[in-house]
Amino acid sequence: MGNDVHVVDVLPAIAGDTPTLGGAMRRRTVLRLMMTPFALMAACSSDAIDPGPRTIATINGKAHPVGPADLSALWAVWEPADGSPPDSVELGTDGSFRIAVTTASEQGDLRIGGPSTTSYHPFLYPFDVADLAAIDVVMIPRVWTIQRGEYAGQSVQTSLDIVVNDNASQTFYSYFQGQPFPWAAPELYFLDLMSWRTDALPAKVALDRQNSDRDLTAADSSAIWQALDRMESVFGIDLFEPIVPDTAWWPVPTGPFEGREIPGTIRITAQPPGWRAFLHFEDDGSEWEQDLGGWTAGGRFDAFRVRQRYLNGGVLVLGEFEPFRLADGLIAWQTVMMHEMLHVLGAGHTCRMESPMGPCARTAEPSRYDVAYFEILWEAIRLQREVSTPFGIMPAVIGERRLLMGLPALPEMER
């Protein structure tokens, strides 16, 4: 090839004068350059034309809303952990998004949200960018209109902090632990979110007379079912289904309560000291668990475990059918019955909203807040199972606390 000469037209040959952007006239000419092949390659790859930021990775995702699909004004943002500028894109009308990542940081936070007037709690969670080639997330509403039951049509302003931040072991939705595992560093945090799947309801309910320390009469059964029917009326859903037990079902107990759960069945029995609830979990592979990076009040920490477990049974131990004395006064036994059955459905204790589940603002039966937060949880779980994603309630908890309230990611970090 030696001294071969190549003629390159940088601009096409256009005869005559043409206007420039400023409106002036200039003569267009043909620029001919004599170049060797290597010089031509160098010219084509020169920095004279800036191609813009280089895409390092691509995040592909879709947001699935709980409730009416109003995803307007929502953006997906990748915030690199090293402080590099974020990359972002507006969500499509169907919730889909595709972010071209232009920074080399392998870790960061995925955030989905918008102005404070948007309909959903912001999503916020730490990831390795390599895990985001395809991701589905569930968006939790900031206002929920109750769908069924006696409160249907009423709207509740939701706060996920309310249902996860009461004290370390008693919250309406979830149970946080600051030092949960002997094999883990003290900074490991753990969320255990428990609920029934709605397709597993109504739960079968059986009176276990065989293991009761007193006779459960027909009148007892009638009183129990009056309380359970009242719960169903409030929720507007078939929660419970009476069955006649086969005594061959009951396993030989290994202790006062251990070994007595029957999958898919809530057993009601009477034993001292009475009025207690025990839960049974599915063992069908539906539980998910994930160790991820996370946050502390002052920065990131390395270990974060999340677990979703589905309830499908339990034991409710009856006390006496008479007013129940607590520190804040006498409570009707029907209220105690509903309290324990809400435990079996997955609720914990709370002092931050009106509910039968705590002494601070106790109600005699489930309140509109109980119903609203259960409906949200059930719908979120349904969506999560439908699209096979673990990302529902928890990223919304973190998003609300960090982005809307300016608090640490999880309540344990405040203590």
Higher pLDDT, 69 or 124: 124
**What is the reported pLDDT for 285?**
43
Please give the mean pLDDT across all residues of the chain. Answer: 75
Tokens representing 337 are: 């019955």
- Kindly state whether residues 69 and 15 are assigned to the same domain: no
Residues 121 and 87 in one domain: yes
Residue 147 has pLDDT above 90, yes or no: yes
Same domain for 202 and 345, yes or no, is: yes
Is the pLDDT at 213 greater than 90? The verdict is no
Question: 130 and 246 share a domain?
Answer: no
Q: What is the mean pLDDT of residues 76-104?
A: 92
pLDDT in tens, 222-242: 999 999 999 999 999 999 999
Question: What's the pTM value of the predicted model, to 2 decimals?
Answer: 0.79
Which pLDDT value is given to residue 348? 87
In a domain, 414, yes or no: no
Q: Are residues 77 and 190 in the same domain?
A: no
Of the candidates 105, 168, 140, the residue with the CA atom closest to the CA atom of residue 404:
140
Say if 321 falls within a structural domain.
yes
Q: Which residue has the higher pLDDT, 87 or 186?
A: 87
Give yes or no: residues 302 and 196 share one domain.
yes
Task: Indicate if 195 and 303 belong to the same structural domain.
Answer: yes
Return the pLDDT at 283: 55
Q: Which two tokens stand for residue 347?
A: 């609720």
Question: Does one domain contain both 331 and 267?
Answer: yes
Angle CA 270–273–277, to nearest 5: 65
Question: Is pLDDT of 190 > 80?
Answer: no
Within a domain: residue 210? yes
**For a pLDDT cut of 70, what percent of the chain falls above it?**
68
Task: Answer whether residue 66 is part of any domain.
Answer: yes
**pLDDT (0 to 100) of residue 248:** 54
> For position 375, what pLDDT does the model report?
96
* pLDDT for the residue 184: 37
Range of lowest pLDDT (134-138, 201-205, 261-265, 378-382): 261-265
User: Is residue 197's pLDDT more than 90?
Assistant: no
Residue-level pLDDT at 125: 87
Please give the DSSP secondary-structure letter assigned to residue 229.
Answer: H
Res. 274 pLDDT band, cuts 50 70 90: confident
User: Which region among 20-29, 168-177, 374-383 has the lowest average model confidence (pLDDT)?
Assistant: 20-29
State yes or no: pLDDT of 302 exceeds 80: no
Question: Measured between alpha carbons, how far is residue 58 from residues 65, 88, 122, 153, 351 in Å?
Answer: 23, 11, 21, 41, 44
| Residue 77: predicted pLDDT | 96
User: In the chain, pLDDT over 90 holds for what percent of residues?
Assistant: 31
Is residue 90 domain-shared with residue 197, that is, in the same domain? no
Q: What is the mean pLDDT of residues 63-88?
A: 90
For the beta carbon of residue 46, count every other beta carbon within 10 angstroms: 8
* Residue 410 in domain: no
Q: Are residues 61 and 19 in the same domain?
A: no
Based on the fold, state whether residues 313 and 360 are members of the same structural domain.
Answer: yes
Euclidean distance between CA atoms 94 and 304, whole angstroms: 31
Last residue of a domain, one of 139, 162, 193: 139
- Which CATH number is 83's domain given? 2.60.40.10
Residue 31 has pLDDT above 70, yes or no: no
Q: Which pairs count as long-range contacts for 400-406, CB under 8 Å and 24+ apart, including other chains?
A: 400/121, 400/122, 400/159, 400/160, 400/161, 401/161, 402/124, 402/295, 403/111, 403/113, 403/122, 403/124, 404/116, 404/121, 404/122, 405/161
66 confidence band (pLDDT: 50, 70, 90): very high
Q: What is the pLDDT of residue 380?
A: 92
Please give the Cα distance from 294 to 176 (Å, whole number).
14
Helix (H, G, I), strand (E, B) or coil at 244: coil
Does 354 fall in a domain? Answer: yes
How many structural domains are present in the chain? 3
Domain boundary among 106, 139, 172: 139
First to last CA, the chain: 76
Does any domain span residue 387? yes
Q: What type of residue sits at position 153?
A: G
Domain that holds residue 13: 6-44
Q: Indicate whether 98 belongs to any domain.
A: yes
- Pairwise pLDDT comparison (104 vs 5), residue with the higher score: 104
Q: What is the mean pLDDT of residues 299-313?
A: 60
* Bond from prior residue into 408 cis (ω within 30 degrees of 0): no
pLDDT at 244 over 70: yes
Are 82 and 212 members of one domain? no
pLDDT (mean) for 22-33: 35
Whether pLDDT at 335 is above 50: yes
